[in-house]
Structures are given as structure tokens and as C-alpha cells.
Amino acid sequence: MRLNKYIASCGAASRRGADTLVEVGKVTVNGCVVKTHGMDIDVHKDTVCVDGVILRPEQKKVYIMLNKPAGVLSTCRDDRGRKTVLDIVHDVDERLFPVGRLDYDTEGMLLLTNDGDFAYQCTHPKHEQDKTYYAEVNGELTSTALSTLEQGVIIDGRITSKAKIKVLNKSGNQTKLQITIHEGRNRQVRKMFEAVGCHVSYLKRTAIGNLTIGNLALGQWRYLTGKDFSLLGIILFPKSDKQ
């Protein structure tokens, strides 16, 4: 890559400004002051400095919402060759990672990004970001059991935080409901209902904070918008020519 283009890609100056920096002797490559502009560098091997500061290319931040199908892992790779969320979001150039997780057999909203600060705001317990699920539950789900779930049940040796549950429909031993939690433990919703003697037969995450899955089709994804960040309660507005 041309040196001036590399300097510009790092946000240190425009290409013309990079040529000026070279002319006044402020640019070094591998510790040596560059005498003339227009040289080529190997971006993977050469170290470029301006005023003694090492330059790093600016990485475009990417934020994506995926409606994850069941049978897909919320991970970047799998040693057993199973399908991962990155197999679905395969035509994005940037290297992404999932924000939190969704169980293998759970559908619904999963965010992906390459921005660690954004992921922290979404997942750290101190931010208490609500996660809302639609669930179909088999078993005798009594009012006492519902109250117990809302107050917290012990799973994996620790009590869960309070939950919000709204029963949508009840027919025999099957209950359709909405449950909102802000923790993200492994298979938490399923284990919570198991703790009161019930089994979750279907589970889909429909919202994170005030951001809902909307009409995004199963297995499809889209870039987040400024409004989405507001709904998440995160002050961070990505600039992307793909949005």
C-alpha cells in the first residue's frame, strides 16, 4: 500500500497532508525517517510512525441484529463443524463476534459487533439490560409457580434476579407467555422453568431493552440504526455507508 494512503487510513491526515508530513521529516518506517513520499509499505510487517506515534488503521465499527434460528451456535467457530451465526452473516468484511449468547435451540434476537465497548454496555450486569422472550411451556404452571419465578429461583446454586412474566394464553398444560430478565446465564430461562417442574418447548428472544425484533425474518439480519441505539439506551451512533 502507498505510504500516504496508509497514513490517511489511520486517520492521521489526508493523503496530501501525509505527503506534507513526509516532506517535513515527521514520518518514520521501521525507525527510519522517510525522505520521499510515494513509497510502498507492507501493512502487515512495516511499522509506520508520525511524530513517534505508531499508526494503526481505523477499524470501521459494525453493529448487526440477527434473528437467529434454532440449531445455530452463538459463537465464531465450532470444532465439531456445526453451523454458527457467522455462517449466516458471512458477507460482512469485518470480523464480528456475538454480543452475549442465545442457546443452540433458542431463536430470536442476537446482536453482533466488532466494538468491545458496545458489547460491554449491552452485557455487563451493572447496566441491567432487559431481555424479553416469548416462551411456550409445558407442565402445570400454577400462580404460585409464576410468583416464585418472578421473585427468583435457585439454578446452578444461585438465585436468579427478579423476572417479569405475562401470561398470553393458557390451554390445558401448555402456557404461552412473555418473560423478561436482565441476566444472561447459560440456558437460564429453560432452567428457571425446570426449577418449578415445567419444560420450555419453544423459546424466542424478542427484545433487548426497548429494541424489538420487529418483522425481521428468521435467519435474516440487518445493520442497526441510530434509533436502535436510542432504544437500547446506548449513546453510540455508528457511521456506516452500509446503513
Q: What is the pLDDT of residues 90-116, one digit of tens each?
A: 888 788 889 988 999 999 999 999 888
Question: Is 8's pLDDT higher than 90?
Answer: no
Q: Residue 136's pLDDT is what?
A: 98
Angular region, 179: left φ>0, alpha ψ -120 to 50, beta rest: beta
Summary mean pLDDT of the chain: 89
Task: Report if residue 70 sits inside a domain.
Answer: yes
Q: How many domains does the chain have?
A: 3
Same domain for 187 and 147, yes or no, is yes
**CATH code of residue 19:** 3.10.290.10
Handedness of CA 67, 160, 170, 211 (dihedral sign): negative
Instruction: Let me know whether 122 and 155 are in one domain.
Output: no
The mean pLDDT of 21-36, rounded to a whole number, is 91
Q: What percent of the chain has pLDDT over 70?
A: 95
Residues 169 and 204 in one domain: yes
Residue 153 pairs in a beta bridge with: none
Considering the domain architecture, whether residues 119 and 143 belong to the same structural domain is answered as: no
Task: Tell me if 73 is assigned to some domain.
Answer: yes
How distant, in Å, are the alpha carbons of 7, 56, 100, 148 from that of 116?
A: 24, 17, 11, 35
Q: Is 103 part of the annotated catalytic residue set?
A: yes
Give the Cα separation of 27 and 30 in Å (integer).
Answer: 10
Mean pLDDT of the 6-18 span = 80
pLDDT at 237 over 60: no
Record the cell numbers describing residue 180, joined without a space: 423478561
> Does 243 reside within a domain?
no
Q: Which domain holds residue 185?
A: 130-208
Q: Which residues contact residue 45 at a Cβ distance below 8 angstroms, ignoring those fewer than 6 apart? A: none
Domain shared by 137 and 202, yes or no: yes
Question: Which of the residues 103, 130, 156, 241 is marked catalytic?
Answer: 103
Which phi and psi (to 5°) does residue 224 adopt?
Answer: -75, 155
For residues 49 and 81, state if they share a domain. Answer: no
Residues 121 and 222 in one domain: yes
Look up cell 506515534; give the residue.
Answer: 53
Q: Would the pLDDT of 158 be above 90?
A: yes
25-40 average pLDDT score? 90
Asked whether residue 17 falls in the same domain as residue 33, the answer is yes
